[in-house]
């Protein structure tokens, strides 16, 4: 399973990268705004800074909602770095853009996926990744994990190459359940990634080992 970090915060990206388990980054316009990054030049420079930190794919989202605008943005974003993956919203104009960019061998991440039908359409268009937002589905009392399971089944039935990128991940159980279902990628905040390491028995066990060592090495 590939681990992406879902942030535009350079400090957090550096920390995740330093753990040696980071495979990529996902951003979106809200995450860029949260970091106070605005204006095309600053946004592009920020993407470049992210690409300079990580080894893997970096999703950069278009803000146009029509085919021509999306393609124009995608072509500019691609020039920033080879690691850039074009994040396209799940709308019909987006599907056309994904098909076009796939033919040009440009990687895409179809975002804002909330149904299996949407994932199927994006896979048909050749998306590199589909991003089902599991936390936001849970927020409206619909199982996000069930959606991952459904998409996995459909993609397996037809051997689609499109990778399931579980997004809107909120906690460690989301990560573990997605791993069990075979989502190729998950993107999560740094806190959820770090929480995977936590277990009280590990803490207790380590404290005992260190204490015993101290006592016998006085
Ligand atoms: C996906 O790529 C999105 O950036 C993200 O996972 C959205 O998550 P949220 O629901 O926590 O905003």
pTM of the model: 0.97
Q: Is 187 in the pocket of ligand 1 (CB under 6 A)?
A: yes
Q: How far is the CA of 160 from the centre of ligand 1 (A)?
A: 23
| Rounded distance between C-alpha atoms, residue 117 and residue 43, angstroms | 32
Q: How far is the CA of 139 from the centre of ligand 1 (A)?
A: 13
Per-residue pLDDT at 151: 98
Per-residue pLDDT at 104: 98
Joined tokens for residue 102: 């796939």
pLDDT in tens, 153-209: 999 999 999 999 999 999 999 999 999 999 999 999 999 999 999 999 999 999 999
Q: Is 133 in the pocket of ligand 1 (CB under 6 A)?
A: yes
Nearest CA to ligand 1 atom 12: 168
- The gap from C-alpha 160 to its chain's centroid, in whole angstroms, comes to 19
Is 87 among the catalytic positions? yes
Question: Following DSSP, what letter does each residue of the chain receive, concatenated?
Answer: -EEEEE---HHHHHHHHHHT---EEE--HHHHHHTT--SHHHHHHHHHHHHHH-SSEEEEE----SHHHHHHHHHHHHTT-TTEEEEEESSHHHHHHHHHHHHTT--EEEEEE-SHHHHHHHHHTT-SEEEEBHHHHHHTTS-HHHHHHHHHHHHHHHT--PEEEEBS--SHHHHHHHHHHT-SEEEE-HHHHHHTT--HHHHHHHHHHHHHHHHHT-
Per-residue pLDDT at 30: 98
Per-residue pLDDT at 66: 98
pLDDT in tens, 31-89: 999 999 999 999 999 999 999 999 999 999 999 999 999 999 999 999 999 999 999 99
pLDDT in tens, 186-198: 999 999 999 999 9
Q: Is 57 in the pocket of ligand 1 (CB under 6 A)?
A: no
Q: Over range 131-149, report the average pLDDT.
A: 98
Q: How far is the CA of 134 from the centre of ligand 1 (A)?
A: 9
Active-site residue (options: 40, 79, 87, 104): 87
Q: Is 167 in the pocket of ligand 1 (CB under 6 A)?
A: yes
| Rounded distance between C-alpha atoms, residue 54 and residue 51, angstroms | 6
Per-residue pLDDT at 202: 98
Q: Is 111 in the pocket of ligand 1 (CB under 6 A)?
A: yes
Confidence of residue 103 (pLDDT cuts 50, 70, 90): very high
| Rounded distance between C-alpha atoms, residue 100 and residue 62, angstroms | 15
Q: How far is the CA of 159 from the centre of ligand 1 (A)?
A: 26
Per-residue pLDDT at 133: 98
Tokens 């996000």 locate to 144
Q: Is 7 in the pocket of ligand 1 (CB under 6 A)?
A: no
- Burial grade of 81 (CB within 10 A; 0-12, 13-18, 19 or more): middle
């Amino acid at each position: 399973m590939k681990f992406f970090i879902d942030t535009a915060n350079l400090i957090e990206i550096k920390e995740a990268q330093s753990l040696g388990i980071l495979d990529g980054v996902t951003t979106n316009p809200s995450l860029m705004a949260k970091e106070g990054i605005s204006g095309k030049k600053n946004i592009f420079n920020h993407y470049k800074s992210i690409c300079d930190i990580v080894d893997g794919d970096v999703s950069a989202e278009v803000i146009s909602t029509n085919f021509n605008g999306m393609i124009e943005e995608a072509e500019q974003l691609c020039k920033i770095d080879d690691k850039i993956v074009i994040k396209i919203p799940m709308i019909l104009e987006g599907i056309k853009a994904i098909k076009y960019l796939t033919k040009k061998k440009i990687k895409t991440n179809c975002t804002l996926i909330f149904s299996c039908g949407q994932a199927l359409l994006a896979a048909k268009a050749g998306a590199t990744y589909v991003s089902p937002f599991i936390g936001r589905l849970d927020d409206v009392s619909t199982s996000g994990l069930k959606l991952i399971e459904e998409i996995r089944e459909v993609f397996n039935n037809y051997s689609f190459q499109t990778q399931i990128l579980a997004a809107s991940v909120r906690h460690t159980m989301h990560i573990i359940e997605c791993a069990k279902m075979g989502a190729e990628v998950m993107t999560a905040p740094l806190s959820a990634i770090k929480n995977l390491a936590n277990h009280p028995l590990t803490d207790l066990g380590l404290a005992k080992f260190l204490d015993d060592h101290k006592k016998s090495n006085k």
